[in-house]
Amino acid sequence: MEKICIGMLGFGTVGTGVAKLLIENKEVISRRVGAEIVLKRIADIDIESKRDVELEDGILVNDADIILDDPEIAIVLEMIGGETIAKELMLKALKNGKHVVTANKALLAGHGTELYAAAAAGNAEIAFEASVGGCMPIIKTIRESLVGDSVRSMKGILNGTCNYILSKITDEGIDFSVALEQATKSGYAEADPTLDINGHDTAHKLAVIAALAFGVQVDFDDLYIEGITLITPLDIEYAGQFGYRIKLLAVAEHVGDNRIQARVHPTMVPFDNILSNVNGSLNAITINAVAVDDITLFGKGAGMMPTGAAVVGDIVDLARNIMHEASGRVPMLSFQQEHIENATVVPMDELESLYYIRFTAPDKPGILAKIAGVLGKYNISIESVTQKGRETTDFVPIVMLTHTAKEADVKKALEEIAKIDKSAPKPVLIRIDS
Amino acid sequence: MEKICIGMLGFGTVGTGVAKLLIENKEVISRRVGAEIVLKRIADIDIESKRDVELEDGILVNDADIILDDPEIAIVLEMIGGETIAKELMLKALKNGKHVVTANKALLAGHGTELYAAAAAGNAEIAFEASVGGCMPIIKTIRESLVGDSVRSMKGILNGTCNYILSKITDEGIDFSVALEQATKSGYAEADPTLDINGHDTAHKLAVIAALAFGVQVDFDDLYIEGITLITPLDIEYAGQFGYRIKLLAVAEHVGDNRIQARVHPTMVPFDNILSNVNGSLNAITINAVAVDDITLFGKGAGMMPTGAAVVGDIVDLARNIMHEASGRVPMLSFQQEHIENATVVPMDELESLYYIRFTAPDKPGILAKIAGVLGKYNISIESVTQKGRETTDFVPIVMLTHTAKEADVKKALEEIAKIDKSAPKPVLIRIDS
């Protein structure tokens, strides 16, 4: 039986999962591929720590070049993460004609153009199913299943840490900081959760899939990104009363003429939208396309074994190409390289949405009329107003849901309302998915 | 640009959807494949009826052989349905070395072995993503994404007609026959809905995916199949009170030693299981595998455009193989042909499940004690008993939920209970998903 050799760079959590699967399921994988997939070398600076997998002697090395310079190794797994050494090693692997499998969305979102060009130059492929949504076949679905259709929009819950924290606040009425602490303790948040809770990890993933779905290049800096750190139990409670759950959604939408919306922010999702029922650390994505309407995928978006399984799926895809000398069979970016277009990300000011706005207003007569007057001036029409409870003796919460309004108008109105009483706290604004 | 020619057999609903997509999205498809996909011929006995798509002159013909004997045509779409003429033409296409795309689950479930062998003999492939779950990439997910993992079980709602009818009964409290009538009127049920409502369509799909997931041959006649015709609003109401919705579930489970469970029957699904929230004509499937845990897909399981899009996805897969001379790259049955094993479907008697049993018992003292006595004798322990309402003056409904019990024991107990009062209606038994 033909043998295809793999070298892995980085032996952390996901790397361990990949090694386990390749070793434990070796026989079933070869029954499927018709070739033996051999994990020949793993390189890591730490070759001492005990991992939860048994390796034969000589597999673990501390020099990446042993892998990158080995002509027998056809596929390199970049399981290091980050944007520095990972990028350098990936470029060398591609230059040496080795295919690369990665789960590194930050690297792809920030340096994709350079990396894809290096792959083309080296006659190699980059496979990255594991970079978005863990085990869910998002990349494959966009790139292979929806290939005869036109994607209109995608809405996803793509960060398990945020979804876990928001679910905790929702279920237990605790504050963000307490929920984050619990998430860290139970292993649902990393020691440094910054990239998760500020929405950047979600945005990296959005950039990767928006490029595929629309056949465009997306400049990561054009994305609107808002994290979950300011979400309070109070807003979640109000959301529930109005029939919504708050989720950190990644939204991309094709709005014509190579213009796309691409944004990440807390969003109120109606109870009857399946995404509002995705709780805990689960991920989900709904892809809306012209012919198929909505397809939703959900499952575990992270973790040693789910992400490991996605990496192995990519290895098998590449191995099947190698067996049939069919590399490049599915274009990495869904479209043939020469057909990738530039897209403009629509400025957030042009967004039209329903809004939830919670004012903390001085408890004085006439204040509601003043707020409503400013909103009216900017053509923001109010669907409902609720006023209950009391935050302090001097202020009352006023919760408004708007009809469809323009983001720019809402921003201007809030600036003007801020001048009514400069001692009042900043209002909370959450966009509503409709 | 290279040109790949397609011939389509059958120009009904799905065929029309395929033609629309191939014509309207021609440019975007070629941007993705790097080849021009040409719909060269469509054969149908009816070449007069107006369809919702514009064809150039000469494309529509009334002789299938014009397609099957055309050496330029590389891919044949079997869009006829049924198990007679469709099979004959498919065999001829494969013999002539043409790849075949089909949505015909009945044909694959009943004659798969013969057809796959014919494909192998003709050096051709059969692609059948559209046969299960319309636009949802179930086949691709099992065969390509979960390739490094081991599927343990699958639970699916795979028939939109049944799910629509059950949702109607649930929402409106109407009887099955009324719901079926409404489904027919609104186009959610075909003129002859027999194969849908008796569960056989669901079972055909289950047979197709069970083979892929477990790498086994499944004898369709071994499947346990129960339809939805006996479901009443009363049972749905009780189900709701206990926290369940009734769904027609297809269940396949690997139970070791090449033994699998494969069954289709109405099942009570807990509210917190995502499948219980899949309503109307939507389909969904949860695949449970060792590494990834649960992945759920859902979307439109039928219809002109969703199924058409799945067919086009398959065409593109085959076209990409043709471009790279990589036919056979992904084995049709997920495993290489020589590694397909025979599986035994576990007899239904061996099933262990929770049960909902509704007795319609004579309204006499001591009857409950008698029923409970018989259940106890067969080791069936009762979790709860509810008795409310009254069906006639002489009978009362007694609803029981059991703890885990063996199907054989439940069957024997019900036979014995039937003897207590021969005038009592047959009890209703619905299995509960746990």
Tens of pLDDT, residues A156-179: 999 999 999 999 999 999 999 999
Distance of alpha carbon B106 from its chain centroid, rounded?
A: 10
Q: What is the pLDDT of residue A234?
A: 94
Question: CB contact, 8 Å: A362 with chain B?
Answer: no
Question: CB contact, 8 Å: A306 with chain B?
Answer: yes
> Is the pLDDT confidence value at B391 over 70?
no
Q: What is the pLDDT of residue A1?
A: 85
Q: What is the pLDDT of residue B317?
A: 95
The model's pLDDT over B392-429, given as tens digits with 9 standing for 90+, comes to 668 889 999 999 999 999 999 999 999 998 888 999 99
Closest by Cα among B419, B289, B423, B261 to B345? B261
A contact residues 135-154, partner B, Cβ 8 Å cutoff: 135-137, 140-141, 144-150
From the list B21, B277, B297, the residue facing A291 with the nearest CB is B21
DSSP β-ladder status, B341-342 and B344-345: unpaired
Question: What is the nearest CA distance from A396 to chain B, expressed in angstroms?
Answer: 36
Can you give the three-state secondary structure of chain A, one letter per residue? CCEEEEEEECCCHHHHHHHHHHHHCHHHHHHHHCCEEEEEEEECCCCCCCCCCCCCCCCEECCHHHHHCCCCEEEEEECCCCCCHHHHHHHHHHHCCCEEEECCHHHHHHHHHHHHHHHHHCCCCEECHHHCCCCCCHHHHHHHHCCCCCEEEEEEECCHHHHHHHHHHHHHCCCHHHHHHHHHHCCCCCCCCHHHHCCHHHHHHHHHHHHHHHCEECCHHHCEECCCCCCCHHHHHHHHHCCEEEEEEEEEEECCCCEEEEEEEEEEEECCCHHHHCCCCEEEEEEEECCCEEEEEEEECCCHHHHHHHHHHHHHHHHHHHHCCCCCCCCCCCCCHHHCEECEECCHHHCEEEEEEEEEEECCCCHHHHHHHHHHHCCCCEEEEEECCCCCCCEEEEEEEECCEEHHHHHHHHHHHHCCCCCCCCCEEEEECC
Average pLDDT over residues A53-71: 96
Question: CB contact, 8 Å: B317 with chain A?
Answer: yes
Nearest-angstrom CA–CA distance, B83 and B89: 10
Nearest-angstrom CA–CA distance, A273 and A287: 13
The model's pLDDT over B201-243, given as tens digits with 9 standing for 90+, comes to 999 999 999 999 998 888 999 999 999 999 999 999 999 999 9
The model's pLDDT over B131-154, given as tens digits with 9 standing for 90+, comes to 999 999 999 999 999 999 999 999
Question: CB contact, 8 Å: B306 with chain A?
Answer: yes
Mutation target to probe the A interface, by most A beta carbons within 10 A, among B2, B135, B285 is B135
Contact B32 A313 (CB under 8 A): no
**Sequence-distant (≥ 6) Cβ neighbours of residue A406 within 8 angstroms:** A349, A350, A351, A352, A379
For CA atoms B375, B380, B382, B385, give the dihedral sign: negative
Question: What is the nearest CA distance from A409 to chain B, expressed in angstroms?
Answer: 36
Q: What is the pLDDT of residue B215?
A: 87
Q: Binning pLDDT at 50, 70 and 90, where does residue B332 land?
A: confident
- Mean residue pLDDT across chain A: 94
Q: Residues A145, B32: contact at Cβ < 8 Å?
A: no
User: What tokens appear for A334 in the block?
Assistant: 């869904």
- Which residues of B are part of the catalytic machinery? 205
Mutation target to probe the A interface, by most A beta carbons within 10 A, among B293, B323, B338 is B293
> Is the pLDDT confidence value at B286 over 70?
yes
Nearest-angstrom CA–CA distance, B318 and B329: 10
Q: Residues A171, A246: contact at Cβ < 8 Å?
A: no
> What single DSSP character describes residue B144?
I
Nearest-angstrom CA–CA distance, A130 and A430: 30
CA-based nearest residue in chain A for residue B271: A277
> Is the pLDDT confidence value at B337 over 80?
no
> Is the pLDDT confidence value at A182 over 60?
yes
User: Which chain A residues are Cβ-neighbours of B39 within 8 angstroms?
Assistant: none
Question: What is the nearest CA distance from A351 to chain B, expressed in angstroms?
Answer: 27
Could you tell me which CATH number the domain at A348-432 has? 3.30.70.260
Q: Binning pLDDT at 50, 70 and 90, where does residue A335 land?
A: confident
A contact residues 97-136, partner B, Cβ 8 Å cutoff: 129, 134-136
Contact A294 B299 (CB under 8 A): yes
Q: Residues A426, A352: contact at Cβ < 8 Å?
A: no
Contact B148 A299 (CB under 8 A): no
Superfamily of domain A3-135+304-334, CATH level 4: NAD(P)-binding Rossmann-like Domain (3.40.50.720)
Contact A306 B292 (CB under 8 A): yes
User: Which chain A residues are Cβ-neighbours of B28 within 8 angstroms?
Assistant: 150, 215
| CA–CA distances in Å: residue B205 to residues B40, B264, B301, B340 | 30, 10, 11, 18
For tokens 């109607």, name the residue. Answer: B168
> Is the pLDDT confidence value at B3 over 70?
yes
> Is the pLDDT confidence value at A322 over 80?
yes
Q: Binning pLDDT at 50, 70 and 90, where does residue B173 land?
A: very high
Q: Binning pLDDT at 50, 70 and 90, where does residue B54 land?
A: very high
Contact B324 A324 (CB under 8 A): yes
Q: What is the pLDDT of residue A390?
A: 61
CA-based nearest residue in chain B for residue A147: B313
Least confident range from A179-188, B81-90, B320-329, B374-383: namely B320-329
Q: Is A205 one of the annotated active-site residues of the chain?
A: yes
B contact residues 177-206, partner A, Cβ 8 Å cutoff: none
Which pTM was predicted? Answer: 0.94
State the complex-level ipTM: 0.93
Question: CB contact, 8 Å: B364 with chain A?
Answer: no
To the nearest whole percent, how much of chain A has pLDDT over 70? Answer: 99
Contact A295 B298 (CB under 8 A): yes
A-B CB pairs within 8 A amount to 209
Structural domain boundaries of chain A?
A: 3-135+304-334, 138-300, 348-432
Question: CB contact, 8 Å: B55 with chain A?
Answer: no
Question: What is the nearest CA distance from B277 to chain A, expressed in angstroms?
Answer: 8
Contact B309 A292 (CB under 8 A): yes
Average pLDDT over residues B15-40: 94
Name the 3-class secondary structure at B71: coil
User: Which chain A residues are Cβ-neighbours of B289 within 8 angstroms?
Assistant: 309
The model's pLDDT over A205-217, given as tens digits with 9 standing for 90+, comes to 999 999 999 988 8
User: Which chain A residues are Cβ-neighbours of B312 within 8 angstroms?
Assistant: 147-149
> Is the pLDDT confidence value at B390 over 80?
no
CA-based nearest residue in chain A for residue B335: A32
User: Which chain B residues are Cβ-neighbours of A136 within 8 angstroms?
Assistant: 295
CATH architecture of B138-300: 2-Layer Sandwich (3.30)
Q: How many helices (H) and strands (E) does chain B have?
A: 14, 20
User: What tokens appear for A344 in the block?
Assistant: 């403009």
> Is the pLDDT confidence value at A339 over 70?
yes
CA-based nearest residue in chain A for residue B297: A297
The model's pLDDT over A1-13, given as tens digits with 9 standing for 90+, comes to 899 999 999 999 9
Q: What is the pLDDT of residue A215?
A: 87
Q: What is the pLDDT of residue A389?
A: 63
Question: What is the nearest CA distance from B19 to chain A, expressed in angstroms?
Answer: 11
Nearest-angstrom CA–CA distance, A423 and A395: 10
Q: What is the pLDDT of residue B333?
A: 83
Nearest-angstrom CA–CA distance, A160 and A202: 10
B contact residues 323-352, partner A, Cβ 8 Å cutoff: 323-326, 328-331, 334-336, 339
- Does an H or E element contain B396, and which? strand B395-402
From the list B21, B296, B329, the residue facing A324 with the nearest CB is B329
> Is the pLDDT confidence value at A73 over 90?
yes
Question: What is the nearest CA distance from B343 to chain A, expressed in angstroms?
Answer: 16
The model's pLDDT over A236-273, given as tens digits with 9 standing for 90+, comes to 999 999 999 999 999 999 998 889 999 999 999 999 99
The model's pLDDT over A273-312, given as tens digits with 9 standing for 90+, comes to 999 999 999 999 999 999 999 999 999 999 999 999 999 9
Comparing B324 with A72, the larger pLDDT belongs to A72
Nearest-angstrom CA–CA distance, B358 and B387: 10
Name the 3-class secondary structure at B192: coil
Average pLDDT over residues B308-329: 93
Q: B349-432: what fold?
A: Alpha-Beta Plaits (3.30.70)
Candidate list A40, A205, A247, A300, residue with the active-site label: A205
From the list A294, A313, A323, the residue facing B147 with the nearest CB is A313
Q: Residues A408, A349: contact at Cβ < 8 Å?
A: yes
- Tell me phi and psi for residue A148, to 5 degrees: -100, 5
Which CATH number does the domain B3-135+304-339 belong to among 3.40.630.30, 2.60.120.10, 3.40.50.10260, 3.40.50.720?
A: 3.40.50.720
User: Which chain A residues are Cβ-neighbours of B147 within 8 angstroms?
Assistant: 29, 32-33, 312-313, 316
Question: CB contact, 8 Å: A245 with chain B?
Answer: no
> Is the pLDDT confidence value at A67 over 90?
yes
Q: Residues A165, A180: contact at Cβ < 8 Å?
A: yes
